[in-house]
Chains A and B, each alone.
Chain A
Amino acid sequence: MGFPCTEENIVCTAFVVAEYLQQQRFHGKIYVVGEAGLQDELTAAGFEFIGPGPDPITGTQADWVQSQLDPEVNCVVVGLDTHFSYAKLIKATNYARREGTLFIATNQDTELPTGTGIFLPGTGTLVGAVSIGARRTPIVVGKPNPAMFEVIQRKYGLRPERTLMVGDRLDTDIAFGPVTGMKSLLVLTGISSLRDVPCKVTVGGKELIVVPDFYLHSIKDLGDAIVASQAEH
């Protein structure tokens, strides 16, 4: 699209999950509810996993209760998976109920931005289903949870007080500000509007009142403001 970027500048939850598992010195096998992003990043990091791809339910209840679960699985990762099915839900919940299993979610967004009148359910809906069945809550790595910034900080040495987070969602992008110590800029081209400010967001069990430090109607206005200020000098 023309933006200045290398792979090193990308911080996506699939990458953060892989980094987080490496930082936790995870050893074992992972059951993954997820797509290409998680598959690629976990493979690149050398982790062994099962799960991705279509998995439609077959057979009857008598078959499912005799299911052979993989005894080596000791971690469940839940990300967006448009092949989600009751079969995957059976596996994810059974593995997550197993003693000592790590349970990680990439994020909890309720929806994907679509730009049309059709709403597409986000990872949060799938994480909800698995959490209810597993009777436990996952470690969530995506914005606004601290894990994502800790991975960035450890890898790139960013100082939060000298970093500006720019985004369109109050409950993920802008909440990332108070959680990490970064400054925040809300752009009004996406999900949230000024009418939604202040916004109550619960992060790690703690309720935050989220107010962006700055706002703009669109990212273009930032460039225009910079150019205009340079013209004045």
Chain B
Amino acid sequence: MSSTCPQLITASNVSSLLASTDNLVFDLDGTLWDCNGAFPGAVDTLLVLHGLGKRIYYCTNNSSKSRAYYSNKVRAMGFPCTEENIVCTAFVVAEYLQQQRFHGKIYVVGEAGLQDELTAAGFEFIGPGPDPITGTQADWVQSQLDPEVNCVVVGLDTHFSYAKLIKATNYARREGTLFIATNQDTELPTGTGIFLPGTGTLVGAVSIGARRTPIVVGKPNPAMFEVIQRKYGLRPERTLMVGDRLDTDIAFGPVTGMKSLLVLTGISSLRDVPCKVTVGGKELIVVPDFYLHSIKDLGDAIVASQAEH
């Protein structure tokens, strides 16, 4: 369904879009909410879609929290949701390792999300929490690395330090070690003038030191959708991906076969279209199938089209 120009969704085309869509996958930050709370009309729109029998999934690259956390947050805001509707990268990493029949011990650069999901899946790991550098270079080169570690997972870790970088790179350089990154977002959405570095910055540091590139599970890489598809049986051609970032949410469209809707309440604008994105070594030219100024406009278009009939 690619075209050179994204279509604005209106009352006149929303019915045919909904008729060909069973599932909607929503990004969170910048799409449904920002640091000030849910966007106006977001909850109403999703309740309307839920009322029409559409299956709704909430999909985020943010690895610092678990499905349980996001489920509580999303429900508390009034969105229709259970833990089963949440797809976050921490959960996807655990699912991916289970699907790969991984056995061993994991060195984790990450926070509560990865800790909770890996624990729930029964995996053994070390690493999370503060790990400030101590001692001198003479101490570090005598470091005792854990011989059982055969997997490195890198997610967002605000306790990142040179000590963690030493460990992650040494384990990732070890023969036969699996190297996984939750996502490569360069920044976290903040809604203020301060930019917060995203997981992509930490993955970059470890990749350079380890001299290898990780398997990246988050949007727009296929692993995330393969986990969703295997677990929920979604047909991509009948699924609409809704998000605010061209290089993750919307690029997820051509990578998976889903349709895509760009909302202009977050990171990307129409000026950024078309957008070149490299996924798995392949360069894609990303153009959303549809766009809207905000998620409220989707609900308004649906209500208006229903009023016409």
**Which residue numbers of A lie inside 8 Å of B, CB to CB?**
54, 56-57, 61, 64-67, 69, 81-86, 89-90, 93-94, 97, 110-112, 114-116, 118-122, 124-126, 128-133, 135
Contact = CB atoms under 8 A, between A and B. Distances in A.
B160 interface: yes
Contacts of A128: 201, 204-205, 207-208
A192 to B, nearest CB: 14
Interface string B190-225: 111011111011101111110100000000000000
B209 A121 contact: yes
B166 A86 contact: no
Given A56-B130, A65-B192, 17 more contacts: A56-B132, A57-B158, A57-B159, A65-B35, A82-B133, A82-B162, A84-B161, A85-B160, A116-B141, A118-B141, A122-B209, A125-B165, A125-B205, A128-B201, A128-B207, A128-B208, A131-B204
Contacts of A133: 186-187, 195, 197-198, 200-201
Contact of A81 (B137, B159, B162): B162
Interface string B159-200: 111100110011001000000000000111011101111101
Nearest to B169: A121
12 contacts: A67-B194, A83-B162, A97-B195, A110-B211, A118-B143, A120-B141, A121-B162, A124-B209, A125-B205, A129-B205, A130-B201, A133-B195
A93 B190 CA distance: 14
A124 B204 CA distance: 10
Interface in B86-119: none
Interface residues of B, number: 42
B112 to A, nearest CB: 13
Contacts of A121: 162, 165-166, 169, 205, 208-209
Interface of B: 35, 130, 132-133, 137, 140-143, 145, 157-162, 165-166, 169-170, 173, 186-188, 190-192, 194-198, 200-202, 204-209, 211
Contacts of A89: 160, 197, 201
Nearest to A54: B132
Contacts of B200: 132-133
A119 B158 contact: no
A57 B201 CA distance: 16
B44 to A, nearest CB: 27
Nearest to B144: A118
Question: Which one of A83, A94, A115, A129 has the greatest number of beta carbons of chain B within 10 Å?
Answer: A129
Contacts of A86: 157-160, 197
